[in-house]
Structure 1
Amino acid sequence: MLLFLRRLGFGLGLLLVTAFAGRAQSINVDAVTRYWEITDGLRQNKPLTDQVWLDFLEIPGNKLYVRGIYSAADLVFYRKVMEVVYMPRYDSLRRAKLDAQVWYYLVVNDYKEREPAYRRYVASLTQNAVAVDLMYQNAYAQLPPANRTRVRDLKLYYEALGNDATSQDEGIIYSLRGLLDASEVKPGILEGHEMYHQLQPHRDFGPIAPDDQALLYFMTSMRNEGIADQIDKAPTMALPDDPRGIRDWLMTPAPHFIHCLDSAIQVRARGGAAASLRWYRQLSNGSNGHLPGFFMSSAIVRNGYGRQMIAQSDNPFAFVLLYQKAAKKDKTQLPRFSETAIRYLKELERKYIKSQAAKAAA
C-alpha cells in the first residue's frame, strides 16, 4: 500500500509539472504528498524512523524551504511535534501543548485539522492558471514597469512545513498554511510577495569594501522585504484588530531598531568598527529585513512617496532617504536618522550607486 501511495504521489507531481509545461512553469507537490503518507502512518501510532525523516527532508520542496530557516535543533523538535500531534497515544500531551500555545504544535495541529482544505487546494493546482496570473498581478503593483516581466521556467514548490514562503534561485517555495491564511485576507498576496523577489533584480554594487558589506546587505534586505510587504502585510494588518499580529511583530519594535541602526551608522561615520551581519539579524529578530522594512515602507506610502519608492526600488539608500522625508512629514512622531548618518549614507550612495552608474554610462 505504501509503495502504491508513493507512486501515486510521484504521479501527481509529474501530472502537475506536465500540465504547466506549456506555460513555462512547473509545480512540484512531492513534499506535500509525502507528508500525508508519513502522517497516515503516524495516525496508526507508527513513529518516524531516522531514515524516513532524513529522506523526507531531502525532498526538494522541503530541502529548499528549511535551509536558512530551521536549525538542526529546530528540525529535531519539529519531528517530535509531528509525532505528538498525529499519534493517538500522545493525545493528552498534544492538548496540553495546544493549551499552552506552543507555536510548532499550533502549526502542525492546523495541518492535521485542516487537512481536507489543504488536499482540496493541492487538487486544484492543475486548474490554477488564474492563480498564477494573480501572483504576477499582485507583484506588479510594487514593481517599476521595466520589471513587470515573466519568470522563465518558473518553478513552484508546495510543502506542509511551517507557515510562510521563500523565494530562492531554484524557485518559490510555499507552505500550504501560509497560503491559505493569506488567501483569507486577499487571494494571491503571499504568492505576489514571493514573486516580487523573483522579478526585482539584484543591483550590482561593484566591489564592496569589507567594512561596508554587512550594512549594505542588510539595507538591501530591508528595502527588498519592506516593499514586498506592501503586497501582503499591509492588507493583513488592515484587518480589524490585526488578527495576524503584524503590528506587534513588525511595527512596534521598529523605532528601537531604527535608533540602533542610526547609532551603528554614526559609529562608522566617525571611523569606528562596523557592525556585523549577525548583529543586524539579531536586532531584526531574525526577520531578514521585514523589521524595520515594513514600518519604513508604510511611512513612505502613507506620506505620498510610494511611486518614488517603486521607481527607485533597486536603491537601498534611496529607500532610507525617502523614509527620512516621510518621517519629517508624518503626522505622528516617527524616529528619524541623524544628520551624521544621512551624510554617511549619501557618501555610500555616491560610492556604490552613482559611481557604478557613471561607469556603466561611460
Structure 2
Amino acid sequence: MKHQLLLSVLLLFLSHYSFSQKFNTEAVVKFWEITSILQEDREIPDSIWESYSNLPGVKKYITNNRSEENLKAHRKYLELFFKPSLSDSLAEMIGDEKLKNDDIFQNMKYLKENEEKLKLFTHEITSPTYLDSAIELTKKYLPAGNKNTSIGDLNIYIQPITYDAAVQGKDMYYGLSIVHDFDKFQIGTVAAHELHHVLRNNKEIKNSLSEKDSASVWVISKINNEGSADLIDKVLVVEHENDLFLGSLFNQILLQNIDPVMVEIDNALSLNSRKNEKFVTVKDFNKIIKYFSGHIPGFYMAEVIKRNGYEKQLIEGCENPFNIFYLYNKAAKNDPGKPFTYSQETIEYLKNLERKAYDSPSTTIN
C-alpha cells in the first residue's frame, strides 16, 4: 500500500510536469499505471487501454513509425512481463531465439528489468537541465557557424513501446529504454542525435532537378542526415557494444555485411549518372538502404571517416549532404582495412549533381 501511494504521488507529479519544458510524459505515466494493475494480477480494462493507446505519444508514434500489430504485440508483452500469473509462460519465452530480434519484446524486457530506475529516470529526463544538456551536446556536432539553437514548437514525447527514437516534422519520440541505456555513457546522447536533425541547417537546393537526379539527392541526403548525427550516439555501439542492451544487434545491423549495400548504392548512383531511360527511383533506393532512414550505410561511412581522423571535417561540412561521400572515399583510401570505395563514375556524378543542385562549385575533398 505504501509503495502504491508513493507511486501515485510520483505519477501525479510527472503528469503535472509533462506539459512543461516541451516534454510530454503522458504515455509513460499511463504505462506505469497499467503495470500496477497487472501486478495485482488483474486484466487491463479496455477503457484504460483505449485511453493509453489514444494518447498522442502513443497514437502518433504508432501511426508514423509502426503498425497496429506492433501495438497489439506491445499489449501482449506488457501483460506477459508484468502479470504474475503469466510468469511461467514468460520463462519459456525468454530463451526463444525468435524473440531475440523482436524489438517490442526486448524493449519490454528492458523496462521490466529496470522498472524502479526508469520510474525515477522519467523525472530526470523531463527536467529543464536535461534538455539543455542535450542541446549543448548537439551543438558540438554542428558547424561552428550554426546559429540555429532553438527547438521552436517541437513536441517531445517519451514513449515506452520500443527501444527507438525518431523525429518527424514537429514531433519527436524518445523510447524510455534506449534513452536510459545510452545515458549510462553520455547524458542526453539519444536526444542529441534527434535534435541534430532539428537544429542542423541543410543546404538549400536552388534548382529544379529531374526525377532521376531528385532520387539520387534523396538517398544522398538520407545517408548524410543519419550518418552525421550517428557520430553522437552510434559510436557508443563500437565502444560499448557489450554494455548496451541491444549493442550486438546494433552492431550486426549497422556494421556487418555492409559491403554489398555500398556496392548497390555505387551501382545505383552510377546508373543514374548515365543518359538512359532506366534509373533508380526513391522507392528503389529505400530498398537498397533497407528502409533504415540512412543509418545504413550512413553510420558505417561516418565511422570510417572518424577512425581515419576526418570527424571534424564531417561535422563542419554536415550541412552539405555530398560532403560525407567525398570524405568517406578519402578516409577509405587511407584506411589500412581497405574498405570499399565509390567508383570514379559515381564521384564525378556527385560533383556534377552538387553543382546542378546548388548552382555553385563542388566542395570535393582532395
Counterpart AA for 2:54: E
Could you say which residue in structure 2 is the equivalent of 1:178? Answer: 178
**What is the TM-score normalised by the length of structure 1?**
0.86
Could you say which residue in structure 2 is the equivalent of 1:22? Answer: none
Instruction: Return the structure number with greater helix share.
Output: 1
How far 1:11 moved relative to its partner?
6.0
Question: Does 2:34 match 1:38?
Answer: yes
Counterpart AA for 1:285: K
Superposition map of 1:191-270 within 5 A: 191-206=191-206, 207-239=208-240, 241=242, 244-245=247-248, 246-270=250-274
Cα contact 1:162–1:177 (8 A) shared by 2: yes
Distance 1:240 1:74, change over 3 A: closer
Q: Aligned partners of 1:92 and 1:278: how far apart in 2?
A: 44
Question: Does 2:346 match 1:346?
Answer: no
* Equivalent in 26, 40, 46 of residue 22 of structure 2: 26
Write the deviation string for residues 121-146 of structure 1: whole angstroms up to 9, x where unpaired: 123346x3332222012111210123
Superposition map of 1:1-362 within 5 A: 12-18=14-20, 25-48=21-44, 52-101=48-97, 102=99, 103=102, 104-125=104-125, 128-148=127-147, 149-206=149-206, 207-239=208-240, 241=242, 244-245=247-248, 246-270=250-274, 271-354=276-359
How far 1:307 moved relative to its partner?
2.5
Q: Aligned partners of 2:41 and 2:177: how far apart in 1?
A: 24
Could you say which residue in structure 2 is the equivalent of 1:21? Answer: none
Q: Aligned partners of 2:209 and 2:69: how far apart in 1?
A: 34
How far 1:261 moved relative to its partner?
0.5
Counterpart AA for 1:165: A
Identity %: 27
- CA RMSD in angstroms, aligned pairs only: 2.8
Counterpart AA for 2:182: A
Q: Point out where structure 1 has 5 or more consecutive residues left out of the alignment.
A: 19-24, 358-362
Provide the secondary structure at the position in 2 that maps to 1:316.
coil
How far 1:355 moved relative to its partner?
5.1
Distance 1:277 1:73, change over 3 A: farther
Cα contact 2:38–2:79 (8 A) shared by 1: yes
Question: How many pairs does the alignment contain?
Answer: 348
How far 1:178 moved relative to its partner?
0.6
How far 1:232 moved relative to its partner?
0.8
How far 1:356 moved relative to its partner?
11
Provide the secondary structure at the position in 1 that maps to 2:233.
helix
How far 1:241 moved relative to its partner?
5.0
Cα contact 2:27–2:58 (8 A) shared by 1: yes
How far 1:169 moved relative to its partner?
2.4
Q: Aligned partners of 2:243 and 2:176: how far apart in 1?
A: 21
Provide the secondary structure at the position in 2 that maps to 1:174.
strand
Cα contact 1:64–1:173 (8 A) shared by 2: no
Write the deviation string for residues 265-304 of structure 1: whole angstroms up to 9, x where unpaired: 1222232523233333333333211111011112222223
Cα contact 1:9–1:30 (8 A) shared by 2: no
Cα contact 1:94–1:105 (8 A) shared by 2: no
How far 1:260 moved relative to its partner?
0.6
Q: Aligned partners of 1:143 and 1:351: how far apart in 2?
A: 25
Cα contact 2:270–2:345 (8 A) shared by 1: yes
How far 1:64 moved relative to its partner?
3.4
Cα contact 1:29–1:157 (8 A) shared by 2: yes
